[in-house]
Homo-oligomer: A and B are copies of this chain.
Amino acid sequence: MSRLSLNTATTKNITLADAVTLSAEAGLTHIGLWRDRVAEAGLDKAVRLVSDAGLSVSSLCRGGFLTAPDEAGQAAALADNTQAIVEAATLGTRELIMVVGGLPAAAGLIGGTAVDPSAPGAKDVAAARHRVADRISELIPVAQEHDVRLVLEPLHPMYAADRAVLSTLGQALDLAAPFPAETVGVVVDTFHVWWDPALEASIRRAGTEGRLASYQVCDWNLPIAADALLSRGYMGDGYIDFETITRWVAATGYAGPVEVEIFNREIWESPAADVLATVKARYEALVEPHL
């Protein structure tokens, strides 16, 4: 269990303090944090909670949302990501997971500044990707100053319009290529990338290029949930071949934590201790033997 890390998104309805206690009592040594739980506790208290429990932070989720076409939106994104970088450093993790953002036309759907869908460029996915590259470039010195890595997360293509115009691991590596590997990495999240015909080659490339910063596991459940964001499931409940993907990740020499990050309403409504017990059992059966 030395590499298993519970991501607080899996137990969304409990406080950071409770997630920390639960993880420590279960014998885990890492925890993956979302910024909402950190903000709720307060950054300084979050640091104390985690370190008093003897845990280390496997990653902070999330920075990103870098696709705003207007100057005000871009300035706001830089300010928010600078804050996220500081939070990651303060929490003692190098790994800041980045969800890069979707099309301007869909920004209103996720609480961003709504852009008229008929405005020029509002649905231009290539232009949105260029803006992501520009913002990453601007964030490099901030990340370097705080010794934090910007960890690009390719999201499943079903989120390409509203959440991330970065859809494959290969594309994430191409985006990362101009920047130092210690400053821009990538994460393999099984839910997002399992379907990709180039996955094996891209994982190998991430290893060779020294950019594999995090491995997150959860399953692809069907039918897709009414809120598509909540379709993730316990390993073994869906259709992902964890043995194969975990072997590919292990073959790169990746020796870091394995985060379990599940957005799922039914799991959120279950007692957190039961959730962690299931997570541990599934991890032990389906993931750990192949690491």
Q: Chain B nearest CB: distance from A170 CB in Å?
A: 8
Copies per complex of this chain = 2
Please tell me if A162 contacts chain B, counting CB pairs below 8 Å: yes
CB neighbours (8 Å) of A196 from chain B are 157, 167
- The reply to whether B224 and A224 contact each other, CB–CB distance below 8 Å, is yes
- Which B residue's beta carbon lies closest to that of A242? B123
Partner of A222, one of B106, B125, B195, B220: B106
Closest 5 pairs (CB-CB, A-B):
A160-B195, A161-B239, A123-B241, A157-B195, A158-B158
- The reply to whether A158 and B156 contact each other, CB–CB distance below 8 Å, is yes
- Which residues of A line the B interface, CB within 8 A? 103, 105-106, 109, 117, 123-126, 129, 156-158, 160-162, 165, 167-168, 171, 174, 194-197, 220, 222-224, 226-228, 238-241, 244
Partner of A228, one of B165, B195, B223, B239: B223
Complex: A197 Cα to B174 Cα, angstroms: 11
Q: Chain B nearest CB: distance from A191 CB in Å?
A: 11
- The reply to whether B244 and A124 contact each other, CB–CB distance below 8 Å, is yes
Q: Chain B nearest CB: distance from A168 CB in Å?
A: 7
Complex: A195 Cα to B158 Cα, angstroms: 9
CB neighbours (8 Å) of A167 from chain B are 195-197
Q: Chain B nearest CB: distance from A238 CB in Å?
A: 8
- The reply to whether B117 and A224 contact each other, CB–CB distance below 8 Å, is no
Complex: A227 Cα to B225 Cα, angstroms: 9
- Which B residue's beta carbon lies closest to that of A175? B197
- The reply to whether B109 and A222 contact each other, CB–CB distance below 8 Å, is yes
CB neighbours (8 Å) of A227 from chain B are 223
- The reply to whether A129 and B239 contact each other, CB–CB distance below 8 Å, is no
